[in-house]
């Protein structure tokens, strides 16, 4: 059986498994979604959002792109944030990067990557903001890992820059923004423990939109 056909066989098994003990699983699922989390992660096939968080269908709203970037002129990502905050009223927005990220690696190389150039330039900009720290790390793998972390932090700040997040947080005390890194070597999630209040305070005089 080829991989395409196998998907449908897997699907049938999954449906049966979900209905075991919960015969109304899909009827309930069809009614509405009430996720507490918006997860913004990398498209990398090795980092499946629901699975690494141990969450069921309906529990996490997901946006994925190459290298988990949050760009203010990306209508896709901005629409996802808007919908998640304004309509779903998520409690947490997670930006999750991962070590061994091909997008971050490509951005560290001197190469013309065509259509990927403007996308990956966002990561090169993160490098430029932290050039002194990164250039000071001699070991290439450690430097690469650190850029993965710094990129997550920068994208968290980009989430905090949005009007939706600022206004909803002021009115309701949520959502909070968090940055994680998924370690492919052991499957563990690392919380970068971003101080959300502090980040919000720091950027406020320049990016304030909750007027
Ligand atoms: Co990646």
pLDDT at 178: 98
Mean pLDDT of 161-169: 97
Digit-coded pLDDT (tens) for 14-65: 999 999 989 999 999 999 999 999 999 999 999 999 999 999 999 999 999 9
Please say whether the structural domain 34-207 has been given the CATH code 3.40.1050.10. Answer: yes
| Adjacent-strand bridge partners of 191 | 180
**Is the confidence at residue 1, as pLDDT, over 90?**
no
Q: What is the value of pTM for the model shown?
A: 0.96
Count CB atoms within 10 A of the CB of residue 135. Answer: 10
pLDDT, average across residues 202-208 = 93
Token readout for 186 is 């052991």
> CA 108, 110, 113: angle at the middle one, nearest 5?
90
Q: Residue 24 C-alpha to ligand 1 middle, in angstroms?
A: 36
**Domain locations along the chain:** 34-207
108 C-alpha to ligand 1 centroid (Å): 13
Alpha carbon of 128 to ligand 1 centroid (Å): 20
- Catalogue the active-site residues: 42, 44, 46, 98, 101
């Amino acid at each position: 059986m080829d991989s395409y056909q196998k998907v449908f066989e897997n699907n049938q098994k999954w449906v049966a498994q979900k209905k075991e003990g919960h015969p109304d699983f899909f009827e309930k699922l069809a009614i509405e979604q009430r996720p507490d989390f918006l997860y913004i992660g990398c498209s990398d096939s090795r980092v499946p959002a629901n699975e690494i968080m141990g969450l069921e269908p309906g529990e996490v709203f997901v946006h994925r792109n190459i290298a988990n970037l949050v760009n203010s002129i990306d209508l896709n990502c901005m629409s996802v944030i808007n919908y998640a905050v304004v309509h779903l009223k998520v409690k947490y927005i997670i930006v999750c990067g991962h070590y061994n990220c091909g997008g971050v690696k490509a951005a560290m190389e001197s190469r013309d990557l065509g259509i990927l150039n403007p996308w990956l330039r966002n990561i090169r900009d993160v490098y430029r903001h932290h050039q002194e720290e990164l250039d000071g790390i001699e070991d290439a793998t450690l430097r690469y890992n650190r850029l993965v972390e710094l990129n997550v932090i920068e994208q968290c700040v980009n989430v905090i820059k949005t009007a939706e997040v600022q206004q909803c947080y002021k009115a309701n005390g949520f959502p909070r923004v968090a940055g994680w890194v998924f370690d492919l070597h052991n499957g563990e999630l690392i919380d970068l423990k971003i101080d959300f209040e502090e980040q919000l305070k720091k950027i406020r005089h320049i990016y304030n939109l909750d007027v």
